[in-house]
């Protein structure tokens, strides 16, 4: 035997037993988002590398080390999408959606690719439910998006959820703050981890994410961006908080919240779950008022979030898997042409709208009845030499019916409501 081929590291199969819970979470998200006016979009699995380099940012971990990038036959650099916001912003621009009433509200359910170190809750291909509202700077958009994700996580029974909220201000306020932070980091450079020290110039904000004890100590006394917001940004943030308070959504202000993309401005947030390990973020997002300009469009405000489906499911209460409905199981006790008749009966029953399964493994009649019981079939049609018998698996009663059509009619009548 040749060597067995396995799935790539950090990827996982979504097996049949995983689908009931997954489909449940997807249905909750679709219902809540579409009821709020979000319409579904799907963008290509790969995009020009330039889109992420400019949109997500050259200095981010995503662009520096996590993208799956390849050259296509035409020599163009392409990248498997590591996230959905830059592609949706590109689609908004490309399809002239600025002409539609604003904000344009879009949602997606797609898979994304990041070459990260695999661990519990962290994969190299993962799925996100995401929402983007483009074209309005109103703080109500920020609050509404947060409220919708809160509702989705609550209805999906994600356990022990907390909302962390902050504001990153404008790029100008942030660059001024960056200089303060760099000063602080340089003054305490000896206590920092090597990695943080090397990135003081490139990405000093990332130091807030470090687990290194010395770095954590230095960061505890670091200046906070929230204290350096300009008046407009501070007013915007106050309004977002007031709206969340009015809607009864609890949150914690987290001045250390940094997100992994450069496009954020003003409001940023993350929902974390205590039911997860180190990768505790179930969903996150924020405002990105500069993104569309960064990718070649006119100044256009935008805002959104994405939640990881695998993490939502890991953090959710387990629910028993519902058994699929089987209205009719077609068994055959005949030797010669029985399987052909059984096949024809199953086909007729399916055309009539019944959920039908038929014998496919050459079991004995006893084995077939056992299989019908195992899958919870409501009726079993047994094709024998003397005709068709229909067995009601609930009462155990068996009657002879004169034709396939009669068996189908009987099974239709006795079908479970719903």
Angle at 58 between CA 53 and CA 59, to 5 degrees: 155
- Beta-bridged to residue 331, according to DSSP, are 382
For residue 245, give the nearest of 139, 168, 158, 320 by alpha carbon. Answer: 139
Query: Residue 290, interface with ligand HAM (CB under 6 A)?
Result: no
Nearer to ligand HAM among residue 159 and residue 186 (C-beta): 159
Query: Residue 284, interface with ligand HAM (CB under 6 A)?
Result: yes
Shortest distance (Å) from residue 338 CB to ligand HAM: 50
Shortest distance (Å) from residue 114 CB to ligand HAM: 5
For residue 392, give the nearest of 410, 375, 409 by alpha carbon. Answer: 410
Query: Residue 393, interface with ligand HAM (CB under 6 A)?
Result: no
* Number of residues written out for the chain: 418
61-100 binders of ligand HAM (CB under 6 A): 83-85
For residue 205, give the nearest of 239, 228, 177, 241 by alpha carbon. Answer: 177
96-125 binders of ligand HAM (CB under 6 A): 114, 116, 121-123
Query: Residue 52, interface with ligand HAM (CB under 6 A)?
Result: no
How far CA 98 is from CA of 107, 129, 263, 266, in Å, comes to 17, 23, 19, 22
Q: Are 324 and 291 in contact (CB under 8 A)?
A: no
Nearer to ligand HAM among residue 141 and residue 372 (C-beta): 141
String of contacts with ligand HAM for each residue 309-348, x by CB under 6 A: -xx-------------------------------------
Nearer to ligand HAM among residue 287 and residue 410 (C-beta): 287
Nearer to ligand HAM among residue 208 and residue 305 (C-beta): 305
Query: Residue 126, interface with ligand HAM (CB under 6 A)?
Result: yes
Q: Are 131 and 101 in contact (CB under 8 A)?
A: no
Of 282, 326, 328, 354, which lies in the binding site for ligand HAM, with binding defined by CB under 6 A?
282
Tell me the number of residues near ligand HAM by CB under 6 A: 27
Q: Are 114 and 67 in contact (CB under 8 A)?
A: yes
Phi and psi at residue 176, in whole multiples of 5°? -65, -45
Query: Residue 281, interface with ligand HAM (CB under 6 A)?
Result: yes
Q: Are 100 and 94 in contact (CB under 8 A)?
A: no
Measured between alpha carbons, how far is 223 from 378 in angstroms, rounded to an integer? 68
Of 106, 148, 181, 306, which lies in the binding site for ligand HAM, with binding defined by CB under 6 A?
306
For residue 87, give the nearest of 60, 123, 136, 49 by alpha carbon. Answer: 49
Using CB positions, name the residue nearest to ligand HAM. 308
Of 304, 314, 316, 368, which lies in the binding site for ligand HAM, with binding defined by CB under 6 A?
304
Nearer to ligand HAM among residue 132 and residue 359 (C-beta): 132
Helix axes 139-155, 231-246, angle to 10 degrees: 40
131-160 binders of ligand HAM (CB under 6 A): 132
How far CA 44 is from CA of 86, 88, 94, in Å, comes to 12, 10, 13
Query: Residue 26, interface with ligand HAM (CB under 6 A)?
Result: no
Nearer to ligand HAM among residue 94 and residue 394 (C-beta): 94
The interface region with ligand HAM, picked from 218-226, 232-240, 308-316, 319-327 by CB under 6 A, is 308-316
Nearer to ligand HAM among residue 303 and residue 368 (C-beta): 303
Measured between alpha carbons, how far is 122 from 112 in angstroms, rounded to an integer? 12
| Binding-site ranges for ligand HAM (CB under 6 A) | 83-85, 114, 116, 121-123, 126, 128, 130, 132, 260, 281-286, 288, 304-308, 310-311
């Amino acid at each position: 035997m040749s060597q067995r081929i396995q799935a790539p590291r950090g990827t996982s199969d979504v097996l049949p037993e995983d689908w009931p819970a997954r489909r449940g979470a997807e249905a909750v998200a679709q219902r809540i988002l579409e009821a709020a006016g979000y319409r579904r979009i799907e963008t290509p699995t790969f995009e020009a590398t330039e889109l992420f380099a400019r949109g997500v940012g050259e200095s981010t971990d995503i662009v520096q080390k996590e993208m799956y990038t390849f050259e296509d036959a035409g020599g163009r650099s392409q990248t498997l999408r590591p996230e959905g916001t830059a592609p949706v912003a590109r689609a908004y621009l490309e399809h002239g959606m600025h002409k539609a009433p604003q904000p344009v509200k879009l949602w997606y359910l797609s898979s994304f690719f990041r070459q990260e170190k695999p661990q519990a809750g962290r994969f190299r291909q993962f799925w996100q439910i995401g929402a983007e509202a483009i074209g309005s700077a109103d703080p109500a958009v920020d609050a509404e998006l947060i409220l919708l994700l809160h509702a989705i996580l609550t209805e999906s029974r994600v356990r022990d959820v907390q909302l962390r909220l902050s504001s990153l201000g404008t790029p100008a306020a942030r660059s001024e703050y960056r200089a303060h932070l760099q000063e602080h980091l340089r003054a305490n450079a000896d206590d920092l981890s090597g990695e943080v020290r090397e990135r003081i110039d490139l990405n000093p904000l990332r130091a807030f994410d470090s687990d290194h004890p010395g770095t954590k100590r230095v960061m505890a006394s670091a200046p906070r961006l929230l204290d350096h917001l300009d008046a407009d940004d501070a007013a915007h943030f106050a309004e977002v908080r007031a709206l969340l308070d009015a809607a009864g959504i609890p949150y914690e202000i987290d001045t250390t919240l940094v997100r992994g993309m450069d496009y954020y401005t003003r409001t940023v947030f993350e929902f974390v779950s205590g039911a997860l390990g180190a990768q505790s973020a179930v969903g996150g997002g924020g405002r990105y008022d500069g993104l569309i300009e960064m990718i070649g469009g006119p100044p256009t405000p935008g805002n959104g979030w994405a939640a990881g489906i695998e993490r939502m499911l890991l953090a959710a209460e387990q629910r028993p898997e519902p058994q699929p409905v089987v209205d009719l199981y077609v068994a055959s006790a005949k030797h010669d042409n029985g399987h052909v008749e059984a096949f024809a009966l199953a086909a007729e029953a399916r055309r009539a709208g019944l959920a039908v399964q038929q014998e496919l493994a050459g079991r004995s009649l006893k084995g077939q009845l056992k299989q019908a019981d195992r899958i919870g079939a409501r009726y079993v049609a047994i094709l024998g030499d003397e005709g068709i018998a229909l067995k009601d698996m609930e009462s155990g009663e068996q009657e002879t019916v004169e034709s396939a059509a009669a068996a189908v009619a009987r099974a239709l009548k006795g079908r479970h409501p719903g």
